[in-house]
Amino acid sequence: MQEAKKEEVLEEVLEDLEKESQADQTEDSVKEAETTEDTASETEEKDTEETAEETEGSSKEDSDDNKKGFFKKKKDKKDEQIEDLTDRLRRQMAEFDNFRKRTEKEKSTMYEMGAKDIIERMLPVIDNFERGLASIPESEKNTAFAEGMEKIYKQFQKVLEDAGVKAIEAAGQPFDPNFHNAVMHVEDENFGENIVAEELQKGYMYRDSVVRHSMVKVAN
């Protein structure tokens, strides 16, 4: 009898515990649902606010851009005219500078060509001067005439040197086709290979250009 009563009491205790557990679970579920609903509501409200702010900001930016574009269009027309005039001025200045440089170069080239042509015409006169001085006998070299001719020749050379004309070195120098024109070859042990043994006609340079090549005899 007592054992049966104990079992009944135990069953009642177990039922009470099970009811309490179910009640707790139900309460937790309700709280969790409420929390989820609150979170969703807050998120939705936040997204709505952000969207509204973005829309307002975008509208404000568009408005500002429109205002800027409006004023910019008015300014661009004037700026374009200024830029166009500035560009035209720069082009004209560049063209003038190129024209000036081209003109100076052409003038310099024409001057060089003219000077070179005159020097070429004078070289035969110098050659004849040298031949005339070389033909004077030793007995007449101290005469007034011979000395006068020598002075005129030296003066002539000085004028050419001041103008930029100089004789090309040839005798005893290595043969250089840029300055020498070989017309004869000889075998001579007194000279090394490809050395100018004798200068037959003087060559001249005007500044950095050859007016006339030296006519030479090359050894070995």
Statement to judge: residues 173 and 158 lie in one domain: no
Statement to judge: residues 141 and 210 lie in one domain: no
Q: What is the domain extent for residue 171?
A: 166-220
Per-residue tens of pLDDT for the chain, all 220 residues: 545 555 565 566 556 656 655 655 555 554 555 555 555 455 555 555 555 455 555 555 555 555 555 455 555 788 888 888 899 999 999 999 999 999 888 888 888 888 889 999 999 999 999 999 999 998 888 999 999 999 999 999 999 999 999 999 999 999 999 999 999 999 888 888 899 999 999 999 998 899 999 999 999 7
Statement to judge: residues 82 and 121 lie in one domain: yes
Sign of the dihedral defined by the CA atoms of residues 35, 39, 40, 41, in that order: positive
Phi, psi of 165 (to 5 degrees): -100, 130
Looking at this protein, which amino acid is placed at residue 132?
A: G
From residue 214, how far is each of 2, 24, 105, 159 by CA, in Å?
Answer: 153, 125, 29, 21
Contact 216/175 with Cβ under 8 angstroms? yes
Report pTM: 0.52
- Domain tally, the chain: 2
Please report whether residue 175 resides in a domain.
Answer: yes
